[in-house]
Amino acid sequence: MDHFIYQDQNLFAESCSVAEIAQQHGTPVYIYSRATLERHWRAFDDAVGTHPHLICYAVKANSNLAVLNVLARLGSGFDIVSGGELARVIEAGGDPKKVVFSGVGKTVEEMQQALELGIYCFNVESSAELEQLNLVAQSLNTKAPVSLRINPDVDAGTHPYISTGLKENKFGIAMEEAEQVFVRAAALSHIDVKGVDCHIGSQLTELKPFLDAMDRLLGLVDRLTALGIELSHLDVGGGLGVPYDNETPPAPQVYAAALVERLGERKLTLIFEPGRAIAANAGIFVTQVLYLKENSNKRFAIVDGAMNDLLRPALYSAWQKIIPVQQSDAATQAFDIVGPVCETGDFLGKDRQLAVVAGDLLAIRSCGAYGFAMSSNYNSRPRVAEIMVDGSQAFVVREREKRQQLWQGEQLLP
């Protein structure tokens, strides 16, 4: 459920008219709904019930300060993958003690920053990283709280680019080496072994891969207990899918209940790192039709939004629903929705049945996650504005970039 609905054939974001926002703030533009973000976060939090847990929103999905702040106010933790994301969390009022730090390539400087801020846990992805972190913690005369990310070798059944839990992926420590690395971690003077984590992929629409991964991790937890290594948390990563079209991913309640049940008597705090499940359907991307164009076998709607603004269709052939901001009763025709960027891959949708004329506004659904966060200035296109609606009010939460910002920091030769 989200808060983007038609009223009298006009699309609304909560109680705000999308057409009015577009008129006032221009296009292309991202529009987020605070109520939807909150609803999705609470669905996760409520789903785990009374079992000790922490919801660490995956900042990479949408790192706008207002988004982070709305979630921080609910008590959210954060899953970060860079010093930049950590700085954003702090700037947005997030609690560093609820931050888990993922990623295969943490730098010494990022380790120092996170240790100084006192984060909850480092999700360590290799032996080499573990040794480095021990040295950094030693130099700061502290202990680094650590979870080891284990690659459970399960097929998430999702797009290969966003599948991370297979042996051939770069992520995590192989299950065969896990015990050995845990034993080493426990022996290191400046490492505090706290937990185990995994993340098998994104946009999963079935429960089974999650449960397979959980079973493998719990087997490891039990073997570690036998070795005298007691963990206090288990972090299951993110990855729960969302309906872009007719997918029916498990509801957070079903997913969380299944995981809690599998934990049995084990006293492990459960950590979740959802990104897409919280943010995707809390945002739309609104673009205006510039021209219609037809050749012998195709009809194109050329819009002002492009792959630099919304990369998912071009990068993953992702399908995202495209709907008119103002519904019409005119007959629909098949259109490819394409942007102004000089690449054949610059499309937002193909073969969509729409009734559009130049000047119409289109909304691409499910753009709250991995939308703006993956945007770029390719073709020297200023990044677009981001708006967050809260009931009947619409707030600019990121201004549209100005042209001069495009070359900020660039220098001519003397």
Show the site string, 114-153: x = touches ligand LLP by CB under 6 A, - = not.
Answer: ----------------------------------------
Report the distance separating Cα 279 and Cα 70, nearest Å. 12
Residue 368 contacts ligand LLP per CB under 6 A: no
What minimum distance in Å lies between the beta carbon of 306 and ligand LLP?
A: 16
Residue 367 annotated among the catalytic residues of the structure: no
Longest Cα separation, the chain: 71
Burial of 410 (0-12, 13-18, 19+ CB in 10 A): exposed
Single out the residue of 11, 13, 35, 58 in contact with ligand LLP (rule: CB under 6 A).
58
What minimum distance in Å lies between the beta carbon of 66 and ligand LLP?
A: 19
Residue 33 contacts ligand LLP per CB under 6 A: no
Residue 98 contacts ligand LLP per CB under 6 A: no
Helices then strands, each counted (H, E), the chain = 11, 21
Report the distance separating Cα 86 and Cα 359, nearest Å. 41
Residue 239 contacts ligand LLP per CB under 6 A: yes
Distance of CA 231 to the CA centre of its chain: 27
Which residues in 160-179 contact ligand LLP (CB under 6 A)?
162
244 carries a ligand binding annotation: no
Q: Report the half-sphere exposure of 328 (CA within 13 A, side-chain side).
A: 13
Single out the residue of 94, 238, 249, 252 in contact with ligand LLP (rule: CB under 6 A).
238
370 carries a ligand binding annotation: yes
Q: Name the residue nearer to ligand LLP (CB basis): 27 or 320.
A: 320
CA distances from 247 to 30, 203, 284, 319, 348 (A): 23, 10, 18, 11, 19
Q: Report the half-sphere exposure of 375 (CA within 13 A, side-chain side).
A: 28
Single out the residue of 368, 370, 385, 389 in contact with ligand LLP (rule: CB under 6 A).
370
Residue 273 contacts ligand LLP per CB under 6 A: yes
Q: Which DSSP helix (H) or strand (E) runs through 135?
A: helix 127-139
Q: Stretches 36-44, 237-245, 354-362, 392-400: which one binds ligand LLP (CB under 6 A)?
A: 237-245
CB 148 within 8 A of CB 178: yes
Identify each DSSP E strand in 93-215 by its residue range.
99-101, 121-124, 144-151, 173-174, 191-197
Single out the residue of 113, 202, 308, 366 in contact with ligand LLP (rule: CB under 6 A).
202
Type of residue found at 133: L
Which residues in 304-333 contact ligand LLP (CB under 6 A)?
312, 316
Q: Which conformational region is residue 10 in: left (phi greater than 0), alpha (psi within -120 to 50 degrees), or beta?
A: beta
Report the distance separating Cα 145 and Cα 149, nearest Å. 13
Q: Name the residue nearer to ligand LLP (CB basis): 61 or 259.
A: 61
Q: Name the residue nearer to ligand LLP (CB basis): 104 or 229.
A: 104
Q: Name the residue nearer to ligand LLP (CB basis): 25 or 199.
A: 199
Give the pair of three-digit tokens for residue 2.
Answer: 């989200």
Report the distance separating Cα 383 and Cα 372, nearest Å. 8
User: Which segments are annotated as binding site for substrate?
Assistant: 276, 312, 316, 343, 370
Binding site for ligand LLP (CB under 6 A): 58, 61, 79, 102, 162, 199, 202-203, 237-240, 273-277, 312, 316, 369-370
Q: Which residues are catalytic?
A: 342
Q: Residues marked as binding?
A: 239, 273-276, 312, 316, 343, 370
Annotated binding site for pyridoxal 5'-phosphate: 239, 273-276, 370
